[in-house]
Chain A
Amino acid sequence: MDGLNPEMSTRNIDEAPRSTAEASGGDLVVTGVSKRYGGVPALTDVSLTITPGTVHALVGENGAGKSTLGKIISGVISPDEGSLSLGGVSLSFRSPREAMAHGIVTIAQELAIVPGLTVAENVYLGVEVSTAGFVRRRESRRRFRELAKKVGFDLSPDWRASTLSIADQQKVEIMRALSRNASIVVMDEPTAALSGNETKALHEIIRSLAREGKSVILISHFLSEVLALADVITTLRDGHLIRTVDAKDATEDSLIEGMLGHSLTTAFPEKVVAEEEKHVVLEVEHLEAPGVNDCSFVLHEGEILGIAGLVGAGRSELARAIFRDSKVTGGAVRLKGEDLGGHSPSRSIRRGLVFIPESRKEMGLLIGRSVKENISLSRLDLVSRMGWIAGIRERRKVAELMKTVNVRAASMRMPVSMLSGGNQQKLLFARSVMCSPSVLIADEPTRGVDVGSKRAIYDLLTEMAASGMGVVVISSDLEEVLGLAHRVLVMRHGRIITELSGERINEQAVLAAAFAEPTIEGTVSS
């Protein structure tokens, strides 16, 4: 570990802290930090200062180095060059535990919750309140309640962590951070999996952390969130620090410009207005499935149908029910007028219905396998004969598809783990295109994807619709739904609450429906 390169640490003496150095406090100074992965630079000579009591946001495209920087600060990885110091004391962490001892705590993108333990046990994991090895449960419960009251979380210490929603699990992580007297909290995409009011609650927590004199390092894709919360914003691009500015001097446009190196003119492709009297490709009638209550809608050729709603509203469940991936208990799905019976995804795909799931790593990709194998997986029959794969035909087909959807990879034999999030997502589109479906359902097609690839995916969706496909886009990004869809369905509690089209598609209307009157809830519950 060469974290303490003397040359590097002397270079930025002028930036050295105005030492208020207490155990919890003082500036966190990052000096000339670089990190390479197998020769690929992820961070190059990044220096910044994080002052107590501020929310410091890191923005940038995927692969810009935000998460790497966050992980260096929190001791998950060590830098190749450069150094860290806190309140004038230089630091070199060998593990997150060491960082934690210095009051630096991370709330990672992937939550680190032990599902089998209770909420309180998770919060105090590793620092149990104990006497002679025996956990003092009552005492830890009491401390937990105190903490929960302080941050305003409504969590019981005795709930099993596995029964919690993702938002609640995140709360557990935050409480864990706070229970360790963290002075610096690193949050990597904390709101990516949260619904509207959960996000709001988290924002409030972030603000209160800053008010208490703690620093929050916020890594986020949501620029509006960054602008609303941060005091200071650092933009990274390709591992380089582009600039650090006061949030009040930044706008969404200026941030995007910094991230891309140029300004993005239009975020969404023009909507090709669907011609009147197009054929119906997909009919869903009174569909009943786990998490889905009596859902009906139709989808036309060449149409993009958006499905909006809060997380947990049943959007993904509806998609999976249509795709016959979950047990359908009632109703019917008709694809081009034919009943889509059966109960297996493979059958649905053969019939012309494809589904791009929400989490590409867990549900979409064979992460260790090659680009080629991942693309051709659904329709190997097209490039094989009697079960024997024709190598040349497969390579030709895959190359063609990679070109169509613009997957940028050095080689089709490269493992998909080496691709950026945007390219991985495009790869799933390539797989779908190969199925030449009549209906595509894309669940959160741009989650965790950088700005540039987002636009490319929007273009793809639009093109696919223009070619006569029916496209369903499920998204928690309201802008995305509004920008893409010809028609929008809003879901709540497993039901389709509203259908909006034309002029009526606007933020207000969608939100109003998504948060509809609780009176409906009584009739919905089943």
Chain B
Amino acid sequence: MNVRVETEETLDVESSNAARFRLGAFRLLGSWRLAGIGIPFIILFIVLSVWSGPFLSTTNLINILDQQAATLAIAAAGTLVLVAGGLDLSVGAIYGLTTVVSGNLAEHHSPWIAIGVTLLVGLGVGLVNGAIVAFLKINPLIATLAMSFVIGGVALKVSGGNLIVLSQNSGFYKFANAEFWSIPSAVWIVFVFVVILALLLSRTTFGRYVVASGGNAEAARLAGVRVNQIRIITYALSGLAAGLGGVIDTSRLLSAQANSGGSGLTFLVLAGIVVGGTSIAGGEGSVPRTAIGVLFIALIYNGMYLLNFNVLYQQIVLGVILLAAVGLDVWARKRRG
């Protein structure tokens, strides 16, 4: 209630210095949010560097990025879904499906066919998700949850429940493991993908429409935004990203399994997005912050591993961080009204 008063009763602002100050504070809010995840990230990084010898080694850092490549790609696209007012709980399942699809294809076909078809499968499943949410008006949480079961089933059917193992000789292996400046191509590909999504959200008309659709769908629609279309595209991008993650990891690990992603991956992705300060209520968010959020979680896992903590504590720590991040978001929203 208080919050609402603030907005309604605020006078025309041009005359008041105090208001100008408040405006300044508002502008800072964006960077404040970046600082909200950026500063803890840097502190954690420094602490780990000091504490654990092996942490700061190039091998370890590149390893983290390589391992997080799929998660980063999926979380970047998931940010768009969330900002547009949606939610995609099926990314883990799509990831699992696309690993086995690409695994199967890579066994018998050229790597490019395997990669291309897999990405199309991801995109297609995403489109279906979007269409279900937009046209059947089913709540995205339920729709994508249900879809994750369907997709998981299809993935089992495709793989026959077996673990697919590929040989290292194939060209497919090079897709994620070729090195440029001693950084694996998986990292490069995901880097480009994340940058594209970041620009898409922050600099393009599409990005504006995504924000508008999540902020106030009715207002956006009446202002001429094709909200349904925008939302479908975000789901499609999310599916595509899950497919990309699936191909990358299959190529990286040379093995594929239907249940390799699952809800574990889905929730890790969501955690990364939320820790990055994107609101689950939609209407605002940032891809670079999501990337930092995902890496923040990865650093914690890596640090705890290097410092020989019990795996059990990882989960507890992640849960606490998640609560802190959401709490901070609620608090910030309350302050701004």
- Residues of A participating in the B interface, judged by any CB pair closer than 8 Å: 37-40, 42, 62-63, 65, 67-68, 71, 76-77, 110, 238-239, 323, 325, 344-346, 348-350, 355, 357, 362-369, 373, 376-381, 384, 387-389, 408-411, 413-415, 417-421, 423, 431, 435
Interface residues as binary, B192-205 with A (CB distance below 8 Å gives 1, 0 otherwise): 00000000000111
Contacts of B23 in A (CB 8 A): 410-411, 413-414, 418
Knowing A40-B19, A77-B5, the reply to whether A420 touches B11 (Cβ < 8 A) is yes
Chain A nearest CB from B222 CB (Å) reads: 5
Residues of A within 8 A of B12 (CB): 63, 408, 419-420, 423
Chain B residues with Cβ under 8 A from A419's Cβ?
A: 10, 12-13
B310 within 8 A of A: no
Which residue of the partner chain A has the closest CB to B204? Answer: A387
Residue B284, interface by CB 8 Å: yes
Contact B10 A366 (CB under 8 A): no
Pick the 9 closest A-B CB pairs, nearest first: A39-B18, A349-B224, A346-B224, A366-B215, A417-B7, A380-B205, A63-B11, A378-B224, A410-B13
Q: Is residue B16 within 8 Å, beta carbon to beta carbon, of the partner chain?
A: yes
Q: Whole-angstrom distance between the alpha carbons of A67 and B1 in the complex?
A: 12
Decide: A368 and B336 in contact? CB cutoff 8 A. Answer: yes
CB distance from A330 to the nearest CB of B (A): 23
**Residues B1-36 near A (CB distance < 8 A):** 1-2, 4-14, 16, 18-23, 26-27
Identity of the chain A residue whose Cβ is nearest the Cβ of B208 in the assembled complex: A380
Q: Given the complex of chains A and B, what is the CA–CA distance between A76 and B27 in angstroms?
A: 29
- What is the interface size of chain B, counting residues whose CB is below 8 A from a CB of the partner? 45
Most chain B CB inside 10 Å of its own CB: which residue of A366, A367, A411, A415? A366
Could you list some 12 contacts between A and B, CB below 8 A? A67-B5, A76-B2, A346-B221, A355-B222, A364-B222, A367-B216, A379-B224, A380-B209, A387-B204, A389-B208, A418-B10, A421-B8
Chain B residues, Cβ within 8 Å of A377: 208, 212, 220, 223-225
A350 to chain B, nearest CB (A): 7
Chain B residues lying within 8 Å of A420, measured Cβ to Cβ, are 10-12
Q: Pick the contact of B219 from A365, A379, A423 — CB < 8 Å?
A: A365
User: Contacts A349-B224, A366-B215, A387-B205 hold; do A39 and B21 have CB atoms under 8 A apart?
Assistant: yes
Return the chain A residue nearest B12 by Cβ.
A408
* B319 part of interface (Cβ distance < 8 Å): no
**B211 part of interface (Cβ distance < 8 Å):** yes
Contacts of B224 in A (CB 8 A): 345-346, 348-350, 377-379, 435
Task: For the complex formed, measure the closest distance between the CB of A233 and the CB atoms of chain B, giving whole angstroms.
Answer: 20
B226 at the A interface (CB under 8 A): yes
Most chain A CB within 10 A, of B10, B12, B221, is at B12
Q: A63-B8, A349-B223, A367-B215 are in contact. List 7 more A-B contacts (CB 8 A).
A: A68-B9, A76-B2, A344-B226, A357-B219, A367-B216, A377-B225, A379-B224
Q: Which residue of B lies closest to A360 (CB)?
A: B219
Nearest B residue to A448 via CB reads: B8
How many whole Å from B248's CB to the nearest CB in chain A? 27
Assess whether B22 is in contact with A40, with CB atoms less than 8 Å apart. yes
Q: Which residues of A contact B13 (CB under 8 A)?
A: 40, 408-410, 414, 418-419
- Contact partners of A346 in chain B: CB under 8 A: 221, 224-226
**Cβ of B6 and Cβ of A67 under 8 Å apart?**
no
B218 adjacent to chain A (CB < 8 Å): yes
- Minimum CB–CB distance for A33 against chain B, Å: 14
Contact across chains for B216 and A408 when beta carbons are under 8 A apart: no
Q: Pick the residue among B16, B209, B225 that contacts A40 (CB under 8 A).
A: B16
Closest to B213 in A: A366
Question: Is there an interface contact between B222 and A39, defined as CB atoms closer than 8 Å?
Answer: no
- Residue pair B22, A381 in contact (C-beta under 8 Å): no
Assess whether B337 is interfacial by the CB under 8 Å rule: yes
Chain B residues with Cβ below 8 Å from A77 are: 1-2, 5
Question: In the bound complex, do residue B5 and residue A37 qualify as a contact, i.e. CB atoms below 8 Å apart?
Answer: yes
Considering the complex, give the chain B residue whose CB is closest to the CB of A431. B223
Pick from B9, B211, B215 the residue with the most CB of A within 10 Å: B9
Q: Would you call B239 an interface residue if the criterion is a C-beta within 8 Å of the partner chain's C-beta atoms? A: no
Chain B positions 107-129 with a Cβ under 8 Å from a chain A Cβ: none
Residue of B4, B16, B204 near A384 (CB, 8 A) is B204
B206 at the interface (CB under 8 A from A): yes
Residue of A nearest to B337 (CB): A417
B283 at the interface (CB under 8 A from A): yes
Contact A37 B6 (CB under 8 A): yes
- Give the Cβ gap from A373 to chain B, nearest Cβ, in Å: 6
Write out the residue numbers on chain A whose beta carbons fall within 8 Å of the beta carbon of B18.
Answer: 38-40
Q: Please, how many angstroms separate the alpha-carbon atoms of A77 and B8 in the complex?
A: 14
Question: Which B residues between 60 and 95 are near A, CB-CB below 8 angstroms?
Answer: none
Q: Which residue of B lies closest to A364 (CB)?
A: B219
Report yes or no: A38 in contact with B6, Cβ–Cβ below 8 A: yes
What mask results when residues 205 to 244 of chain B are scored 1 for a CB within 8 Å of chain A, else 0? 1101101100110111111111000000000000000000
> Which residues of chain A have C-beta atoms less than 8 A from B7's C-beta?
367, 417-418
Within the complex, which residue of A67, A368, A387 is in contact with B9, where a contact is CB–CB below 8 Å?
A67
CB–CB B219/A366 < 8 A: yes
A418 to B14, CA, bound (A): 11
> Which one of B16, B215, B221 contacts A369 once the chains associate, using CB atoms below 8 Å?
B215
- Contact in complex: B337, A366 (CB < 8 Å): no
User: When chains A and B are docked, how far (Å) is the Cα of A39 from the Cα of B11?
Assistant: 11
The residues of B that contact A431 with a CB separation of less than 8 Å are 223
**Interchain CB contact under 8 A, B222 and A384:** no
